[in-house]
Amino acid sequence: MPETTANTYPARERLLAASLDLFTAKGYAGTSVREIVAAAGVTKPVLYYYFGSKEGIYLELMQDTYSIFLQIVSELSAAPGSARERIIRFATGIFDAFVERIQVVRLIYSIFYGPPQGTPPFPHEKYYDTMLETVAGFIRKGVEAGELKTVSIHSATWAVISCMNTVMEEQLCQTPPRIDRQGLIDVLGLILDGLSDGGRR
């Protein structure tokens, strides 16, 4: 059985929170099991009981985050509306989730774009693949319904995704963001104006 402590917050959740704090602050390679269990207020056997190793707790963080992402995408994709409404709803929903989970996002970005840290493999590119596929689906249906011009689905998808990524990544800056959620809506509006039949001049 795992160790119990006076802290009523479950040991498993404390370990996940402590590892996220430390991985973000010190990097995966720079964080030891000793530091994680000390920060969580448990002993090493508790970490091994739940996760098996430092690699195991990292993979659990990554899989939990990706599972939440897929659930959000599923909910946003199922909502009805025009192509414009669905794209804006999707973009703002992903933005909200990004900001709400900014700490784990920082960790993912540091691992995906930064130097190797010895982390066990995890397919972080699946986030982009899923977003590209979802937005492409919205645009394709919009073209088929006559809501959007007959354009390159590939190019239109990248226009939307590029806007989303730029605004979301601005939130990662240590200085105050220069564009926010409303800015995302405004810029997407310009893109969608250009893609819609009403955007013809």
Co-location of 47 and 71 in the same domain: no
| Mean pLDDT value of segment 81-104 | 98
Say if CB 73 and CB 130 are below 8 A apart: yes
Cβ atoms < 10 Å from Cβ of 28: 21
Element spanning 23, H or E? helix 11-26
Co-location of 67 and 45 in the same domain: no
Co-location of 24 and 94 in the same domain: no
CATH of the domain at 24: 1.10.10.60
Report percent pLDDT > 70 for the chain. 94
- Residue type (1 letter), 115: P
Average pLDDT, the chain: 94
Domain of 18? 1-52
CATH of the domain at 163: 1.10.357.10
Q: How far apart are CA 106 and CA 114, in angstroms?
A: 11
Co-location of 40 and 128 in the same domain: no
Q: How far apart are CA 50 and CA 53, in angstroms?
A: 9
Q: Residue 7's pLDDT is what?
A: 55
Co-location of 185 and 96 in the same domain: yes
Q: Which of the four pLDDT bands, split at 50, 70 and 90, describes residue 1?
A: very low
Show which of 16, 36, 52 is a domain's final residue.
Answer: 52
- Total domains in the chain come to 2
Higher pLDDT, 5 or 113: 113
111-125: burial string, b at 16+ Cβ within 10 Å, e else: beeeeeeebeebebe
Angle (CA) 124-129-133 rounded to 5° is 155
- Residue type (1 letter), 141: K
Q: Residue 9's pLDDT is what?
A: 73
Q: Residue 20's pLDDT is what?
A: 98
Q: What is the pLDDT of residues 9-48, one digit of tens each?
A: 799 999 999 999 999 999 999 999 999 999 999 999 999 9
Q: Residue 155's pLDDT is what?
A: 98
Co-location of 175 and 116 in the same domain: yes
